[in-house]
Amino acid sequence: MEKQQGATVKETSTSLEPRDKSTRVEILNAAASLIVEHGYGACTMRSLSERVNIKAGSLYYHFASKDEIVVEIMNMGVEMLLEEVISRVQALPQGTGFRQRFSTAVEAHLASKLSRDMPYMQVYEHLPPVIKRQARSMRQKYADFWFALLEDGKQTGEVDKDLDLAIFIPYFLGGLNRVPEWFHYKTMSKENVTNIIVSTLLNGIIKP
Instruction: Give Dmax (Cα) for the chain.
Output: 64
* Model confidence at 5: pLDDT above 70: no
Calculate mean pLDDT across residues 29-45. Answer: 91
Which residue ranges make up each domain of the chain?
18-203
118-151 pLDDT, tens per residue?
888 888 888 888 888 887 888 899 999 999 999 9
Q: Specify the pLDDT at position 108.
A: 95
Q: Residue 192: is its pLDDT beyond 80?
A: yes
CA pair distance 169, 146, nearest whole angstrom: 7
pLDDT in tens, 60-91: 888 888 889 999 998 888 999 999 999 999 99
Classified by CATH at the fold level, domain 18-203 comes out as Tetracycline Repressor; domain 2 (1.10.357)
Instruction: Tell me the residue type at 179.
Output: V
Pick 172 or 12 by higher pLDDT: 172
**DSSP code per residue over the chain:** --B-SSS-BPPP--SS-HHHHHHHHHHHHHHHHHHHHH-GGG--HHHHHHHHTS-HHHHHHH-S-HHHHHHHHHHHHHHHHHHHHHHHHHTSPTT--HHHHHHHHHHHHHHHHH-TT-HHHHGGGGS-HHHHGGGHHHHHHHHHHHHHHHHHHHHTTSS-TT--HHHHHHHHHHHHHTHHHH--TTT--HHHHHHHHHHHHHH-SS--
Confidence (pTM): 0.80
The mean predicted confidence, pLDDT, of the chain is 86
